[in-house]
Structure 1
């Protein structure tokens, strides 16, 4: 579809006083770093310029559109593709194809989850795991920290053991309290085959990200062993219960900042962290920690706080594993656009930081995943950063790159239903992103 035929973007007007605009335009006149690592500040400068959407394309943009019109016909992409490319400075739609058609976005859903979590909880938020004592029992209380490690748990055990010994106690019972979240359920669009490898039943307590059915009891058993290693006798089996109101605080551990957790979650596309964040976001908005309430908060944040259109938007989990979720490429691009708006950068910066970079080892666009390693995409290594998404029958790639015209472009490509080999589909999508960057092998 020619870019001129694509409709305007569904965003609230961005009012700005003349004085602020003039001040920001002065900033925008400075040099823009070419390194992908300098992208956020470059975006912030760009976004300060007029937001008027223009439909006419210049020569550089027309080249991108023409090349995408050609490459989007790749047979590997099948017949169902939603895609859009937007100039980050002007909000101009450079290219689009069925951009408002809602498709399964797979893990691109994590972009919406991250936006809501950072907005509701704040990038500096930390999750707290506690140990309390009462009636001869130490209770390990889960606080929604999906990054809790054995090292963290050992520090809690060390402090707890010292406290017990100071009180003249040598034996104790151990229980876990994961009542912060309700009993785990399947999301709409999930099947039991996801447990526990694709995602574990969502509980408020876990250690080392163990892929087990009951992460809370698993963490409690690990905690009991660490206590025993420090000379405390643990009697009976680890049980599940709720800490008493009169229980005495013994030890606590705070997670890293939410901004760091979001960055890691996006880099490796961690489903478990995403689902935990969805529940903690619901709690942060004074709602129950459920799929339904978490996704309701995400929708409210996107639409009411940021003015993102939710036309054709259906979301049922935080990770994108749900086969019932539907999000258009246009909406994914609008979410990414928020992250580079100077008004929101302080809150949402970790989303940009968390986008995998083409060729970056240890992330989902790394060479170990066979990404950006074909003649169509190799020249974009180090120049494209994007969130990946993969489900059976659905592959997506949404991100940012600096085009040959020196301007940053936001893109989103979502494919559903192709019968090609998934690796070949990913190669084709990598080629589309590389085309936006300017690669044309």
Structure 2
């Protein structure tokens, strides 16, 4: 995927602008939007939020912005925390309990994605390979690519080609037949990952409900039982063993009789018989953010641990993600236990999320741009597809907001970017709920839309 960067027109911030910080007992009088709702239904999704364009308008007046957002939040009893930041200056413009840690749910994926792009880089690919094993066998070695697929390549797919298990079988069969081998045992190696396959804070229903597969360095089609049917979420209990069986069947179709063997560790320096690679990290990040893919998020987090020389465990992945954030100067307010946000033990403050988004959108870190391009576009794509942003109360945000959603029982979050009505690029994070009762994500959409509708400069 080729990304073009817009030229930047940077204007000085109005002197003396300061954040308006509201306490729970304060509430400002709301003001009506200064511009009409834009008709963006016909606009191409790619036109929303030009990459690296900080906007040409003045930043909004903090008092005016606060009046509109505080009215929507609803007073001191509302279980909402929020922040809005001017991307160009990094200055907070609105703060409602912005430093209060909250359960981030899938907005954790923004944190994971920034750390991965900043450490392994946007061009990094994950390799799955086959090597010779002992006693005439072969070893299928997982590198941690959950997008490895046994499905046929689709020329109309919306993503770069995934690594193909069929292609790997073809390469391996060709190499084996060339050396006179017609029958093999397929052992498999998952040693790239260490530790338990589930994270602290994951609920017992996540695996049986198909929210995520047991995390493994070797999996095909994310361990789905029926990968060709998106409506079926069930996963296999042993993704690596299932992958070895699938690979053995494909080898047999390519003329080499094969059966699945056991889990082993391949010998160092073993002769390679075939290899396939994932899409680049930039594409993996775009996918995991747009579709909120838990399996890819966990894989991406482990790539950070491996890059920094730590074991690829949940704990080490979380630790190294925070190490990378510290290097970027945005680690404060972040405490995580996984890469996907499924863990109910994760805690991130709104100000931390907004600062991370702001770094990804700024001029100085172009390698992070896939975080921006991967976030769903309000009313158009991914987890922000209709009916979200189709109702009147949030329609002003359609096409003008890019954001990552987060949802767990009793929790809803939204973090991303929006252009206001004056053309200024703002980063925001809204976090609602305490896990103990129902939450309306529509309120967060309305807050984001209020930013887009604000001609408050």
Contact 1:358 1:382 in 2 (8 A): yes
SS at 1:39 equivalent:
coil
Q: CA deviation at 1:186?
A: 2.9
SS at 1:102 equivalent:
coil
Q: CA deviation at 1:41?
A: 2.6
Q: CA deviation at 1:214?
A: 1.2
CA distance in 1 between counterparts of 2:261 and 2:205 reads 28
Residues 163-189 of structure 1: CA distance to partner in whole angstroms, max 9, x if unpaired? 111111111111111111124343221
Partner of 1:430: 445
SS at 2:422 equivalent:
coil
SS at 1:317 equivalent:
coil
Partner of 2:239: 215
How does 1:16-415 map onto structure 2 within 5 Å? Answer: 36-43=47-54, 59=61, 61-73=62-74, 79-134=78-133, 135-150=135-150, 151=152, 152-196=164-208, 197-209=210-222, 210=224, 211-235=235-259, 237-245=260-268, 247-303=270-326, 305-311=327-333, 313-345=334-366, 347-361=367-381, 363-367=382-386, 370-415=387-432
Residues 127-151 of structure 1: CA distance to partner in whole angstroms, max 9, x if unpaired? 1110112322121100111211115
SS at 1:192 equivalent:
coil
Contact 2:20 2:66 in 1 (8 A): no
SS at 1:269 equivalent:
coil
Q: Structure 1: which 5+ residue stretches go unaligned?
A: 8-33, 50-56
Contact 2:127 2:277 in 1 (8 A): yes
Contact 2:417 2:425 in 1 (8 A): yes
Over 3 Å counting, the alpha-carbon distance change for 1:171 and 1:433 in structure 2 is same
Contact 2:401 2:416 in 1 (8 A): yes
Contact 2:410 2:437 in 1 (8 A): no
SS at 2:143 equivalent:
coil
Computed over aligned residues only, the root mean square deviation of the Cα atoms, in angstroms, reads 2.5
Over 3 Å counting, the alpha-carbon distance change for 1:239 and 1:203 in structure 2 is same
SS at 2:20 equivalent:
helix
Partner of 2:26: none
Partner of 1:28: none
CA distance in 2 between counterparts of 1:222 and 1:58 reads 57
CA distance in 2 between counterparts of 1:399 and 1:179 reads 36
Contact 1:99 1:328 in 2 (8 A): yes
Contact 1:118 1:348 in 2 (8 A): yes
CA distance in 2 between counterparts of 1:386 and 1:128 reads 30
The list of structure 1 runs, each at least 4 consecutive aligned residues, that deviate by more than 3 angstroms after superposition, is 34-38, 418-422
Over 3 Å counting, the alpha-carbon distance change for 1:58 and 1:341 in structure 2 is closer
SS at 2:341 equivalent:
coil
CA distance in 2 between counterparts of 1:418 and 1:240 reads 40
CA distance in 1 between counterparts of 2:269 and 2:279 reads 29
Q: CA deviation at 1:402?
A: 0.6
SS at 1:41 equivalent:
coil
Contact 2:290 2:375 in 1 (8 A): yes
Over 3 Å counting, the alpha-carbon distance change for 1:121 and 1:227 in structure 2 is same
SS at 1:377 equivalent:
helix
CA distance in 2 between counterparts of 1:340 and 1:58 reads 18
Tell me the number of residue pairs that the alignment of Structure 1 and Structure 2 aligns: 392
CA distance in 1 between counterparts of 2:49 and 2:21 reads 33
Contact 1:371 1:426 in 2 (8 A): no
Partner of 1:53: none
Contact 1:3 1:65 in 2 (8 A): no
CA distance in 1 between counterparts of 2:450 and 2:257 reads 63
